[in-house]
Structure 1
Amino acid sequence: MKAVINGTVIAEAPKEDLIAIEGNWYFPPSSVKSDYLVESATPYTCPWKGECQYFSVKDGDETLKDRAWSYPTPYSSGIDRVGKDFSNYVAFWKEVNVSE
């Protein structure tokens, strides 16, 4: 699977290494090119996953706000619900296209 923005691959891993949660694919942290991500101060806490860390995604000279997110320390009940530890796994949306 790949996460691509305007032809640039910013994350890539075999599908079996990703975790699907609520219709989103979460990439393992080691598969994400972190130089394309900038931590965002946008606050959010999911009632069952825990505190979220948003990232803005660099696309050339443009930075797209909050187009990626992860859960650095998800609730243990959330890990139980998903069936895998998804700590620091990264999901993408909008302009970032995730496909096989």
Structure 2
Amino acid sequence: MKAIWNGKIIAESDTTKIVENNHYFPMNDINKKYFQESGHETRCPWKGVASYYNVKVGDKLNENAAWYYPQASHAAKPIENYVAFWKGIKVTE
């Protein structure tokens, strides 16, 4: 699977995990040069507290466009520290 935004592959993996129709990419499979910690957090009732990344490619910034669970709940441990995308980031094979 590939995550693409602004014409660049920002993540690529053969080992994504699908939860609630989102592909979660292993942290080691994202291209960290495009990611900036945003400081934003949300809470999922069953997965726990999500942290977010801003995604920056070239001069374009996509705020809070990627999220991950640094300390996932017991039920969501399989996706702990895996990264998922939204806000126009295309995930494709």
The two structures have a TM-score, normalised by structure 2, of 0.93
11, 28, 31: which one pairs with 1:30?
28
Greater strand share, 1 or 2?
2
Q: Secondary structure at the match of 1:73?
A: coil
2-structure distance, mates of 1:71, 1:43 = 10
Indicate yes or no: 2:91 matched with 1:98. yes
Aligned Cα RMSD in Å? Answer: 1.0
Output the amino acid matched with 1:92: F
Indicate yes or no: 2:81 matched with 1:88. yes
Count of equivalent residues: 93
The two structures have a TM-score, normalised by structure 1, of 0.87
1:43 Cα deviation after fit: 2.2
After superposing on structure 2, the runs of 4+ consecutive aligned residues of structure 1 that deviate more than 4 Å are none
Point out where structure 1 has 5 or more consecutive residues left out of the alignment: 80-84
1-structure distance, mates of 2:68, 2:76 = 13
